[in-house]
Amino acid sequence: MSIPLLDLNRQYASIKTEIKEAIDEVLESQYFIMGDEVAEFEDKIRTYCNANHAFGCASGSDALLLALMAIDLQPGDYVLTSPFTFFATAGAISRLGGIPVFLDIEKDSYNLDPVQVKAFLEGEHPVFRKLNPDRDKIKAIIPVHLYGQMAEMDPITQLAKEHGLAVIEDAAQSIGAEYKGRRAGSIGDFGCFSFFPSKNLGAFGDAGLITVRDNSLADKTDILRLHGAKPKYHHSLVGINSRLDTIQAAVLSVKLKYLDDWSEKRRKIAQIYNQLFEEAGVVGSLDDCSGTCDAMGGNHCSLPENKIITPKETTGAQSANGKHIYHQYTIRSKKRDQLMEALKAGNIGHSVYYPIPLHEQECFAYLGYEPKDCPISHCASKQALSLPIFPELTLEEIKKVVATIVDVL
């Protein structure tokens, strides 16, 4: 039995007829750009996310870029974010000449740590002393809702308010996730979503969407994605070409109907994984993990070799009104390499998100970050391992994944 990390064929088989009908309607209309399906989908997502405005665009990467363009990010401006994320989060900052300020993550949620953000904004963080930024040039915070779990938005938005910064939620992995009953993309000034095919709500190619809170920023975002023109051929701004294809909107509208059910199934699978690992006695405590990994001058991680850290629903557990939508089910282990070998031998899909944190990427070397500037991110990049999770994964498959891991431990 081989078990993929993600099996989109199983999902497609269950909705094939509806999808084909939806695509066929677009083909019959021949309206491939900004057809009716785009506005319909935007409206549905706006309601789904409880956001004020929603605009489709070409990708999650473009959604981030559009948000930063909408706040007029200038070369030399600083944007605070997590180094433990997909490259696009920081890539968008750099593409506008901005400087990504990487601050460490929480060891339980893997999300940007508000304590680090506070220390930086108060000028008491080693990264502040390293970058020595002009305070007026600090413009925004991009919390990333990694793996399907939202960042600690209350303290982050509070800090942003105190320091006059925009909050751009990178919700690429977290559509439908909740923080204190509020959906991803509804809390910050902007919410950026990706519909890359492997996402929980995946298109049939690249696609993305941006939610916007403020009315005037919404108008600006709307036209920035259309080369800055409104009406057509009248350019008040220099924008980009970033639209959501009508065919993608049609596909996504069909899939959106099933999203909550799929998310519940993912949550159930995560619970089963957690329970089976607990029963096998391999779950370590977060207290075992001091956060002083080898980046901290030779202090090796104190997590026992035969234990793993399973995902913790931090915002969920703390608020009772949180919801992790398990885009990934990610464990941590000091024996990651051995686990990967065993999974490979057992034909079980797995992946490392992310093997090199952004503060250690070659393209940001000019900023002078060292691994120890974000030690938890560094440690997570050495230990994180994502296991198969998708709504159609069977109990038999879950048990095989768990048995393979437990065997190695």
Ligand X SMILES: Cc1ncc(COP(=O)(O)O)c(C=O)c1O
* Token pair in block for residue 357: 């944190």
Q: Which stretch binds ligand X (CB under 6 A): 80-88, 119-127, 181-189, 272-280?
A: 80-88
340/405 Cα distance (integer angstroms): 9
Window 205-264: residues binding ligand X (CB under 6 A) = 206, 208
Interface pick for ligand X out of 81, 194, 253, 310 (rule CB under 6 A): 194
- Which residues of 341-408 form beta strands (DSSP E)? 384-387
Q: Which is nearer to ligand X, 144 or 175 (CB)?
A: 144
At its nearest, how many Å lie between ligand X and the CB of residue 11?
18
Interface pick for ligand X out of 56, 60, 148, 391 (rule CB under 6 A): 60
Window 88-107: residues binding ligand X (CB under 6 A) = 88-89
Interface pick for ligand X out of 105, 160, 172, 244 (rule CB under 6 A): 172
**Number of residues lying near ligand X (CB under 6 A):** 15
Interface pick for ligand X out of 190, 196, 326, 369 (rule CB under 6 A): 196
Interface pick for ligand X out of 85, 149, 310, 314 (rule CB under 6 A): 85
Q: Which is nearer to ligand X, 194 or 253 (CB)?
A: 194
Window 140-169: residues binding ligand X (CB under 6 A) = 144
CB 331 within 8 A of CB 274: no
Return the amino acid letter for 200. N
At its nearest, how many Å lie between ligand X and the CB of residue 225?
14
Q: Which stretch binds ligand X (CB under 6 A): 53-61, 100-108, 117-125, 395-403?
A: 53-61
CB 98 within 8 A of CB 75: yes
* Token pair in block for residue 42: 């935007």
| DSSP structure string for 11-76 | HHHHHHHHHHHHHHHHHHHT--BS-HHHHHHHHHHHHHHT-SEEEEES-HHHHHHHHHHHTT--TT
Q: Which is nearer to ligand X, 86 or 204 (CB)?
A: 86
Encode burial over 117-150: b for 16+ CB neighbours within 10 A, e otherwise. bbbbbeeebebbeebebeeeebbbbbbbbbbbbb
At its nearest, how many Å lie between ligand X and the CB of residue 53?
19
- Which residues of 258-383 form beta strands (DSSP E)? 308-309, 329-333
Q: Which stretch binds ligand X (CB under 6 A): 57-65, 69-77, 135-143, 229-237?
A: 57-65
At its nearest, how many Å lie between ligand X and the CB of residue 88?
4
CB 378 within 8 A of CB 360: yes
Question: Is residue 202 close enough to count as binding ligand X by CB under 6 A?
Answer: no
157/163 Cα distance (integer angstroms): 10
The H-assigned helical ranges of 194-323 are 215-224, 246-279, 314-319
User: Residues in the site for ligand X, rule: CB under 6 A?
Assistant: 59-61, 85-86, 88-89, 144, 170, 172-173, 194, 196, 206, 208
